[in-house]
Structure 1
């Protein structure tokens, strides 16, 4: 079964968001834990969450994915920024424990801001170690990045090094962003088998828990993070259909972060399901 859904706003509550996802043919979705450009979080409505959880079970949602705000920067050398990120992550993990249908939170590893990759990796792993206690019911997913600026996490080796330095590494997984990985130089269109083999050898496919499914506006290795709608970028529709139909990826939930409105997401979900069924029925 394909699990696929868009990024949705939870302004009207979790129940309303689950119903919106269902109305467009989705069986999962992603949401921001708080203001993506700040730190403010909406007060939790436990009744709303309970109803949403029940709806997810009733409609066979695999799980929904939380996305941390962009204000996290665990690689920062600025103590105020670093402490702020740790505080928000700790609070987000506590809040997410109320939402049984959400067992993952994805975060950008961070930017080392000129201090160097080794510094960034050490800083990220130390920050996570100061947050995780090992009893959390939500796993942190490090997102694969495009390599723009001073981003950490655009090579599989960098992500592996962070995971290896985290004390509770069983609480860390990976969210694979197709646009970012392609922009970072991994050719998932013409060389997907080898890319997945490399990922497996370095990190392990067992750590791959979610996929951000985005086309890319820029060429392979551009190190530019510009998402395109499905089939309208450099990956192309066939490249994306081949990707989601790969036997090693079929069971991993897909989350659309394409530049779309709700109608656009509905079209993409239908397109991907139709393409998926065509390929698997051949």
Structure 2
């Protein structure tokens, strides 16, 4: 079965997200742990989370993905911003313990003139401060497009972070197809070569989920502009090869395409029809 879903709003609660996902043919989904452009998280409702856990088990959902807010910058030069990142991630991971066995994804951050090496050190420092040996969630670094001073624009930068994390067994990676294409990885003409490089640098065992997006810009543009499936420079054929690739087909795929729920439902139906598993 193709494990596929999209990003859903958590505004109406956890169980509602599960029901919405099921209604559009999805068997997984992604949600923001708090306002993506803000700082505060809604009060936790353990009963609502428990209802989602039961619902997901009943309907055989694949692994779910929580996403940290965009405002989080674990490698900011300002200590106050790094403190916010630490506090937000600690709060989010405490909530994620109520959803055991799922994933928590975040953008590594922007070094903002400190240099990538300093950014890498600060990100690892943050992770070493917030990871707990008893936590029930795997934390994911997301591959980035290389826009501005983003850290994580290459597999080597992600590896450098992982190498500095003490509890690295709790860490994984999320590949975003738009991001790595925009970063210069040719997943259209050389998917096998890109996966070989990922395996050599990071290890395919670290790859836990894929953000499945087309790109509005050509390879190497470093723009990070997502497009609907089949409407960008990556194209439908290449994305179908990704969901059917023997090294990837078992993973959860999350759509972050510029669509409303109806549009995501159509994309899910399209991709399910082209899945060969």
TM normalised by structure 2 equals 0.98
State whether structure 2 residue 120 is matched by structure 1 residue 121: yes
Secondary structure of residue in 2 paired with 1:162: helix
Secondary structure of residue in 1 paired with 2:28: coil
> d(CA) in 1 for partners of 2:218 and 2:133?
40
Extract unaligned runs of 5+ from structure 1: none
> What is the deviation of 1:133?
2.4
State whether structure 2 residue 235 is matched by structure 1 residue 206: no
How many aligned positions are there?
A: 277
Aligned pairs for 1:32-181 (under 5 A) are 32-100=32-100, 103-181=102-180
> d(CA) in 2 for partners of 1:65 and 1:130?
22
> What is the deviation of 1:98?
1.1
Greater than 2 Å deviation, 4+ residue runs: none
> d(CA) in 2 for partners of 1:65 and 1:214?
16
> d(CA) in 1 for partners of 2:174 and 2:117?
21
Q: Where does residue 28 of structure 1 map in the other structure?
A: 28
Secondary structure of residue in 1 paired with 2:83: helix
Aligned pairs for 1:239-250 (under 5 A) are 239-250=238-249
> What is the deviation of 1:234?
0.4
> What is the deviation of 1:207?
0.0
State whether structure 2 residue 220 is matched by structure 1 residue 230: no
> d(CA) in 2 for partners of 1:15 and 1:122?
38
Q: CA RMSD in A?
A: 0.8
> d(CA) in 1 for partners of 2:50 and 2:123?
33
Secondary structure of residue in 2 paired with 1:241: helix
Query: How far does the alpha carbon of each residue in 1:159-180 deviate from its partner, in whole angstroms, 9 at most, with x for none?
Result: 0010010000001100000000
Aligned pairs for 1:187-202 (under 5 A) are 187-202=186-201
Secondary structure of residue in 2 paired with 1:29: strand
> d(CA) in 1 for partners of 2:102 and 2:60?
15
> What is the deviation of 1:47?
1.4
> d(CA) in 1 for partners of 2:208 and 2:44?
26
